[in-house]
Amino acid sequence: MPEGIAHDATDKSQRYLEGAHEAVEAVFDTLYKIRQLRKAEGGGIQGQLTNNENDQLRAAIVFSGAGLDATLKQMIRDTLPMLLEAGNEQAHKKFEDFAHERLGTGEIADTQAIARYLTSASPRERLIEDYIYELTGSSLQSSEEVQKVAGALGVDDKDLRKKIGELKPLFTARNEISHELDLQSPEKPGDRTRRSRPINQTKDICYSAFEVGQLIVNAVGAQLA
């Protein structure tokens, strides 16, 4: 995971990310110990992983996705108002797009929504609150949703946005585990009913979440500094 850039506004997000990273490292450490124990008992560890070992990998994937989700949601809550106040051009453009969609224009204007905002003590603050709720109201389940959050936070670094696009394998695996219990239909005798993943491939997709999370935390911290 890249080195973090300290900033008061991103401190809580940073701690969430580090906590999730530690949890995933502990899962991989447990997996290593399980395999070493199996080897010490005379079992081979070169073939297919056991169900227990696969469950450790599934836990690492779920923890990684959840850690990135919690980190970015907290980042939105803690820093988005500050970024808009500071005049971040991209963040403000995304906010304007949200306002346009929420309020509508011309013949399709939502007069009830407009009235609700205009009669609040601070229409802009009320709109920002609703924007934050939209961005954090549900879990991030795809790389496209992470791209949306990055855009809202004013992150426009092309290399980082490319890395976000490379999170697709993580979210595919995370959704297969969370929504399908990793179940699959056996195609021939001997096939397992649940998916199995290579250890190194799983490590790569888990660590990609922490790399992206840290780079987004750093990018926002750098803007606010």
- pLDDT tens digits for range 191-218: 788 999 999 999 999 999 999 999 999 9
CB-CB neighbours of 130 under 10 Å: 17
Contact between 220 and 153 under an 8 Å Cβ cutoff? The reply is yes
Task: Tell me, yes or no, whether 106 lies in a domain.
Answer: no
Report pLDDT digits (tens) over 29-84: 999 999 998 888 877 777 789 999 999 999 999 999 999 999 999 999 999 999 99
Instruction: Calculate the alpha carbon distances from 11 to 8, 15, 34, 110 in Å.
Output: 5, 6, 35, 38
Rg (CA), the chain: 21
Number of domain units in the chain: 1
| Angle between helices 51-85 and 199-224 in degrees, nearest 10 | 10
Task: Tell me, yes or no, whether 32 lies in a domain.
Answer: yes
pLDDT of residue 184: 86
Task: Tell me, yes or no, whether 204 lies in a domain.
Answer: yes
Length of the chain equals 225
Per the DSSP assignment, residues forming a β-bridge with 194 are 183
Task: Tell me, yes or no, whether 131 lies in a domain.
Answer: no
Concatenated DSSP letters for 38-93? HHHTT---SSPPPHHHHHHHHHHHHHHHHHHHHHHHHHHHHHHHHHHHTT-HHHHH
Q: What are the CB-based long-range contacts (under 8 Å, 24+) for 163-169?
A: 163/208, 163/211, 163/212, 163/215, 164/212, 166/208, 167/143, 167/205, 167/208, 167/209, 167/212, 168/142, 168/143, 169/205
Task: Tell me, yes or no, whether 101 lies in a domain.
Answer: no
Task: Tell me, yes or no, whether 108 lies in a domain.
Answer: no
Report pLDDT digits (tens) over 165-188: 999 999 999 999 999 989 988 777
Contact between 215 and 160 under an 8 Å Cβ cutoff? The reply is yes
**Domain range for residue 146?**
8-86+139-224
Report pLDDT digits (tens) over 105-162: 656 656 676 667 666 767 888 899 999 999 999 889 999 999 999 999 999 999 999 9
Q: How confident is the model at residue 103 (pLDDT cuts 50, 70, 90)?
A: confident
Task: Tell me, yes or no, whether 146 lies in a domain.
Answer: yes
Task: Tell me, yes or no, whether 44 lies in a domain.
Answer: yes
- Please tell me the distance from the alpha carbon of residue 41 to that of residue 191, in angstroms, as a whole number: 26
* pLDDT higher than threshold 80 for residue 190: no
pLDDT of residue 107: 61
CA 100 centroid distance within chain: 26
